[in-house]
Amino acid sequence: MKSQLRRELNRELRDFNYENTDEGLLFPRQGLQICGVFEVENLTQGGKSVAANLVVNQGLDFVVGVALGSTSAIATWYLAPFAGNATPATGWTASNFDSNSTEFTNYTEGTRQAFSPGSVASGAIGNLSSRAEITIGSSAQDTIYGVGVISSSGKEATSGVLFSAARLSSARTGLLEDDVIALGYTLQASDAS
Considering the chain, what percentage of its residues have pLDDT values greater than 90?
Answer: 61
* Residue 45 included in any domain: yes
| CA–CA dist 193, 180 (Å, integer) | 40
pLDDT of res. 66 = 81
Chain segment 86-122, per-residue pLDDT in tens: 999 999 999 999 999 999 999 999 999 999 998 887 7
* Residue 59 included in any domain: yes
pLDDT of res. 64 = 77
Residue 125 has pLDDT above 70, yes or no: yes
* Low-confidence winner among 60-69, 94-103, 175-184 (lowest mean pLDDT): 60-69
Residue 70 has pLDDT above 80, yes or no: yes
Q: Which of 159, 181, 164, 163 is nearest to 172 (CA)?
A: 181
pLDDT of res. 2 = 46
Is residue 56 exposed (0-12), middle (13-18) or buried (19+ Cβ within 10 Å)? buried
Count of domains forming the chain: 1
Region 176-189: mean pLDDT is: 93
* Residue 125 included in any domain: yes
Q: How far is C-alpha 105 from the geometric centre of its chain's CA atoms?
A: 17
* Residue 29 included in any domain: no
* Residue 161 included in any domain: yes
* Residue 19 included in any domain: no
- Mapped onto helix, strand or coil, the DSSP state of residue 191 is strand
Query: Which is more confident, 80 or 33?
Result: 80
Region 114-139: mean pLDDT is: 91
pLDDT of res. 71 = 87
Query: Which is more confident, 120 or 149?
Result: 149
Residue 166 has pLDDT above 50, yes or no: yes
* Residue 17 included in any domain: no
| CA–CA dist 54, 59 (Å, integer) | 9
Chain segment 33-50, per-residue pLDDT in tens: 677 899 999 999 999 999
Domain that holds residue 91: 37-185
pLDDT of res. 21 = 67
Q: How many helices (H) does the chain have, and how many strands (E)?
A: 3, 12
The CB-side HSE value for 111 (13 A sphere, CA atoms) comes to 11
* Residue 88 included in any domain: yes
